[in-house]
């Protein structure tokens, strides 16, 4: 009995520590206190390992010269108010840009490979997930070829998302002259302090004048040609112009806090000669190079997915690269940084939601927001704003989908239109406001993107960009089913209990 009393007192002290540390975030404190009651002592250990303040601290990426940045008078009042409100959160203020919207992996990789092939001076890449599969190896080989041609290349991967990227590929890249670093690697001392803070960005900057960013990592699944994954819908961006300097600034900041790759030996691979005598082929179509494992699988799946990806936008896949369209816009670049008190991404979302006057369309694969974001959405409905939320019908991991369902009821009752994407994997992250403002990036509507991850998102001011994204949103609705309040009420008691239990873990999701 004595040890039980001791455990109770110890756990009480631990819960008091949580309550004091999270006094400014009562919802998060309540969640962790509940976890501490269910898992005495263990819950406090989880709290420390996931909520320990990031040790790498730096200033927020902002410019002192952005206060006077204003949109032309031709823009609506909501656009002007949002641009003005976001000015202190941006990397370098408001910039003109030309942007191409990329709505699937094949289109993204073809443009990326073409741009890498044309690089003359520098290539900087940072990815949360960079796989050593057919797409990954093709890009890796191309990077090695460009490095041997004299292009300076810096390669930054996240220590968790890209933990399976093999060391022998890193050695190949470094032997070719590519500088490689890992963001918070899963080794001492990072694993003891910063393991829960991840670099969720997917950014490439080429020659300081062209950049790619958005939701697409490097992996076969993003092409929609991987059989055990199936169709994959995402949104990525290709930007040209001075706005790429902002993404360069973000990359440099992340590069400076990342760890250089360590090699036990400087191996000179026998296959190095093969690398030089087998150059990367020209702009063959990506779908001709991605071959699902096994000939029987290839014959079954390649035609199906080539057709789906080709007809996705009403065009044939063979014409994707020849029909690129660069839209003119103004853009603000935002970086989410857990090393500073301001939750930049969350605050930006809140500003956009509260200043919308006509319409809000949101696409996100993970919807586990906090109370303020929910209130901002409900308040928008009360002002007469039409709000549509598009989320995947099947969420992976399932625990996130369970937690998400607990938010749908009150939103439906408030008047939000919720649609469940039913065609395949939905991974796009975007928000369109009043037909003139569009936010696209890597950040989700969840606590992790708001508080724990290094993120990047772009806020565009352009009726053309908003129109193109809205047209894609409308096409996505044809592949979705509306969610009704009756659908939630028909769920069994056990399912609802599991959903509520998953919501308790929202600080970790």
* DSSP string for residues in 394-437: S-SSHHHHHHHHHHHHHHHHHT-EEEEE-SSEE---EEEETTTE
Q: 74 falls in which pLDDT band (50, 70, 90)?
A: very high
Residue 257 has pLDDT above 60, yes or no: yes
The answer, yes or no, to whether residue 299 has pLDDT greater than 60, is no
Q: Give the tens place of pLDDT for each residue, 465-497.
A: 999 999 999 999 999 999 999 999 888 888 888
Residues designated as active site: 200, 202, 207, 427, 429, 434
* Angle CA 291–391–196, to nearest 5: 80
Kindly state the DSSP code that residue 220 receives in the 8-state scheme.
G
Neighbours of 316 (CB within 10 A): 12
- In angstroms, the CA 73 to CA 4 distance is 69
pTM: 0.83
203-217, 254-268, 463-477, range with the lowest pLDDT: 254-268
């Amino acid at each position: 009995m004595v040890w039980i009393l001791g455990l109770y007192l110890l756990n009480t002290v631990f819960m008091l520590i949580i309550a004091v540390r999270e006094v400014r975030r009562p919802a998060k404190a309540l969640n962790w206190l509940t976890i501490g009651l269910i898992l005495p002592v263990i819950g406090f250990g989880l709290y420390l390992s996931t909520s320990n303040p990031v040790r790498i601290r730096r200033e927020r990426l902002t410019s002192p010269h952005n206060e006077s940045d204003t949109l032309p008078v031709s823009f609506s009042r909501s656009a002007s108010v949002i641009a003005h409100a976001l000015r202190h959160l941006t990397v370098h203020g408001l910039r003109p840009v030309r942007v191409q919207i990329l709505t699937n992996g094949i289109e993204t990789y073809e443009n990326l490979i073409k741009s890498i092939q044309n690089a003359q001076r520098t290539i900087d890449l940072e990815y949360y997930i960079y796989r050593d599969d057919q797409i990954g190896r093709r890009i890796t080989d191309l990077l090695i070829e460009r490095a041997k041609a004299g292009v300076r290349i810096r390669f930054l991967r996240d220590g968790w998302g890209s933990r399976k990227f093999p060391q022998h590929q890193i050695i190949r890249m470094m032997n070719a002259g590519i500088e490689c670093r890992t963001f918070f690697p899963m080794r001492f001392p990072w694993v003891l302090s910063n393991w829960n803070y991840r670099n969720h960005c997917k950014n490439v900057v080429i020659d300081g004048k062209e950049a790619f960013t958005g939701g697409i990592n490097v992996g076969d699944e993003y092409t929609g040609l991987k059989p055990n994954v199936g169709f994959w819908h995402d949104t990525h961006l290709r930007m040209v112009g001075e706005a790429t300097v902002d993404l360069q600034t973000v990359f440099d900041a992340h590069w400076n806090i990342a760890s250089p790759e360590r090699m036990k030996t400087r191996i000179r691979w026998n296959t190095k000669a093969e690398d030089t005598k087998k150059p990367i082929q020209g702009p063959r179509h990506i779908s001709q190079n991605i071959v699902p494992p096994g000939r029987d699988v290839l014959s079954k799946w390649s035609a199906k997915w080539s057709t789906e990806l080709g007809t996705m936008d009403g065009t044939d896949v063979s014409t994707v690269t020849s029909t690129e369209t660069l839209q003119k816009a103004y853009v603000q670049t935002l970086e989410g940084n857990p090393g500073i008190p301001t939750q930049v991404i969350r605050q930006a979302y809140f500003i956009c939601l509260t200043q919308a006057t006509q319409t809000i369309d949101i696409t996100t694969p993970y919807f586990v927001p906090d109370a303020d974001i929910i209130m901002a959405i409900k308040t928008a409905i009360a002002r007469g704003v039409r709000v549509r939320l598009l989320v995947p019908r099947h969420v992976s991991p399932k625990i996130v989908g369970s937690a998400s369902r607990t938010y749908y009821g009150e939103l439906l009752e408030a008047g939000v239109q919720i649609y469940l994407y039913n065609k395949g994997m939905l991974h796009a992250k975007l928000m369109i406001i009043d037909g003139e403002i569009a936010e696209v990036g890597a950040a989700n509507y969840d606590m992790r993107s708001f508080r724990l991850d290094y993120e990047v998102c772009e806020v565009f001011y352009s009726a053309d960009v908003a129109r193109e994204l809205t047209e894609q949103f409308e096409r996505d609705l044809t592949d979705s089913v509306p969610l009704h309040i009756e659908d939630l009420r028909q769920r069994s008691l056990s399912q609802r209990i599991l959903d509520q239990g998953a919501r308790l873990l929202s600080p970790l999701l």
